[in-house]
Structure 1
Amino acid sequence: MGEERKAKDFYERAIEIETKAFRPDHVNIVLAYNNLGSFYHKMGEYKKAKDFYEQAIKIQTKAFGPNLGLVYFNMGENEKAKDFYERAIEIKTKAFGLDHVNIASTYMNLGSVYKDMGEYEKAKDFYERVMKIRTKTFGPDHVKIASTCKNLGSVYKDMGEYEKAKDFYERAMKIETKTFGHDHVNIMRKQSRCNLL
């Protein structure tokens, strides 16, 4: 909804409650730390984002692996980001199996790194894995499928395959229109993107 400050307040409250209910280093608190890291990342406060992600890593490294890939990616350090995501996939695969839904977001992030590096086929392969996992888990019309369609559309656009890109953007727009309604900001962005194609 674009109300990041309110989101931040809830994430901080979650940490406070979960710390009392469990303990400061309990794995249940990891999500709140990651969410705060994501908040500061969106605000461009990369140092704070890094601090929260590192706090999450201290708790979850054994089970889930490092999660600084997004920060390195946004700092333009693609090789470091790629290393973090590959390590996270290795750890998550051992914990959950190759095609578990918990690995999908890491595949998505690794795909984005490869896309940024101009390795479009590798990016496409990772996005397609995400599509397979999320479709199996959530069904074909879930909003998470829309975000996957956007990424696939973007990589096809970069590859010069504009018809395929348009198809994925239109599918994303259809899902999000059904989910959020015609006047949602995501729908307006997608219409603009499709018009550019």
Structure 2
Amino acid sequence: MDDNWADFRTRAEQSESAGNFAHAEGMWLKAIFETHAFDDRDWRKAYSLDKLAGLYYSLERFDEAEVFAERALTATRLAYGSDHLKTAESEALAGAVAYCLGKLEEACSHVHKSLTINEHILDPIHKKTAATCLNLAYIYHAKGDFDLSEPFYQRAFKIRAQIFGWDHEMTSKVSKAYAEMAIDRKCHLEAKQMVDLLMEAV
């Protein structure tokens, strides 16, 4: 059973690297089937589910990704506990999938949990923390919660500037997104003012 799982994992990863995603999907499904005989806390359960969820996410098959991302998160918590970087990564994936499905409240909850774990374990200036802050900024931005989005953009920018430098593309990505948020906030305010004027005229 162990040998079968390892074989399916190897074949899945090789197929994925070669761009043969259909075969990779089949191999991950077989690997998941093999884990049914394993203990619930076995890391291979979480690993297999997470990899298939990640594959579906990369292929933009978000409904399927959601199912396996949630299962992967449950398995990861069992295998590693709630306060582990693996769990933070699993929360982040579940959040990314929820975001792509337009489930912004769910996405926000998952990514906040990921950030909390990262803050507890990692140094304050860490690229994973910056990435998580940026993801939260995107979510709040998409929700139109600009006041909540802004501090996460700022925090992501400061961390990346310290790690990569002010003019690095990773830092510039944050500043560009922040500038877009500022424009969206201005447009939103102008639109609200126009609606208020229309309502007063009725």
Q: TM-score, normalised by structure 1?
A: 0.71
Q: Which runs of 5+ in 1 are unaligned?
A: 1-24
Alignment match, 1:64: 47
Deviation (angstroms), 1:33? 8.7
1:90 aligns with 2:90: no
Cα gap change, 1:161 to 1:96, in 2 (>3 Å): same
Which residue of structure 1 aligns with residue 101 of structure 2?
Answer: 117
Does the alignment pair 1:170 with 2:154?
yes
The one-letter code of the counterpart of 1:71 is: L
- For residues 186 and 85 of structure 1, do their structure 2 counterparts lie closer, same or farther at Cα, with a shift above 3 Å needed? same
Q: Is the 8 A contact 2:73 2:94 kept in 1?
A: no
Whether contact under 8 Å (1:36, 1:52) holds in the other structure is no
Name the larger-Rg structure: 2
Q: Aligned equivalents of 2:95 and 2:48: distance in 1?
A: 18
Equivalent position SS for 2:60? coil
How far the C-alpha of 1:73 sits from its partner, in A, is 2.1
- How many angstroms does 1:71 deviate by? 2.1
How far the C-alpha of 1:94 sits from its partner, in A, is 1.5
Counterparts in 2 of 1:170 and 1:59: CA distance versus 1, 3 Å: farther
Query: Identity of counterpart residues, as a percentage?
Result: 26
Residue 169 of structure 1 contacts residue 194 of structure 1 at CA under 8 Å; is this kept in 2? yes
Q: Which residue of 2 is the match for residue 192 of structure 1?
A: 176
Per the alignment, do residues 159 and 56 of structure 1 end up closer, same or farther by CA in structure 2, a change over 3 Å counting? same
Residue 130 (1) aligns with residue 114 (2): yes
User: Residue 149 in 1 paired to residue 115 in 2?
Assistant: no
Would you say the 8 A contact 2:134–2:156 is kept in 1? Answer: yes
- What residue is the counterpart of 1:73 in the other structure? 57
Say what the alpha-carbon RMSD is for the aligned residues.
3.4
Deviation of 1:152 (Å) = 0.1
| Bigger shift: residues 153-162 or 84-93 | 84-93
How many Å separate the matches in 2 of 1:143 and 1:105? Answer: 13
Uncovered stretches (5+) of structure 2, i.e. residues with no partner: 36-43, 182-202
**TM-score (normalizing by structure 2):** 0.69
Letter in 1 for 2:97: V
- Asked if structure 2 preserves the Cα contact closer than 8 Å seen for 1:37 and 1:51, the reply is no
